[in-house]
């Protein structure tokens, strides 16, 4: 009986702690924009970073790595 009362108190305490943390962690909404950025929609400042060249380089290096790996696996298979 003592264990059940202790675990019930612990459970209630944990629920109150979790609910209280969730309520206190909420923040108010941000204020509306005051001109400049955000008037004609949400645009990134500076129109964002160019990602086309980086994506091409990443895919090229990934293809080269995959080709080298496949070549080395086939080379070890033929030696055995």
Query: What pLDDT is attached to residue 54?
Result: 80
Query: What pLDDT is attached to residue 37?
Result: 55
Determine the Cα–Cα distance for residues 43 and 54; give it in Å rounded to an integer.
22
Nearest residue to 42 via CA among 30, 54, 50: 30
Residue 48 tokens read as: 């964002």
Query: What pLDDT is attached to residue 26?
Result: 73
Instruction: Write out pLDDT tens, residues 24-70.
Output: 777 777 776 665 555 566 555 555 666 667 888 889 999 999 999 99
| DSSP character string of 14-69 | HHHHHHHHHHHT--PPPPPP-SSTTTTS---GGG----HHHHHHHHHHHHHHHHHH
Instruction: Output 14 or 44, whichever has higher pLDDT.
Output: 14
Query: What pLDDT is attached to residue 49?
Result: 62
């Amino acid at each position: 009986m003592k264990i059940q009362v202790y675990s019930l108190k612990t459970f209630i305490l944990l629920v109150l702690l979790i609910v209280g943390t969730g309520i206190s962690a909420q923040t108010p909404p941000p204020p509306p924009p005051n001109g400049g950025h955000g008037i004609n929609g949400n645009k990134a400042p500076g129109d964002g970073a160019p990602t086309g060249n980086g994506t091409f380089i990443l895919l090229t290096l990934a293809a080269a790595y995959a080709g080298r790996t496949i070549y080395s696996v086939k080379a070890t298979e033929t030696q055995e």
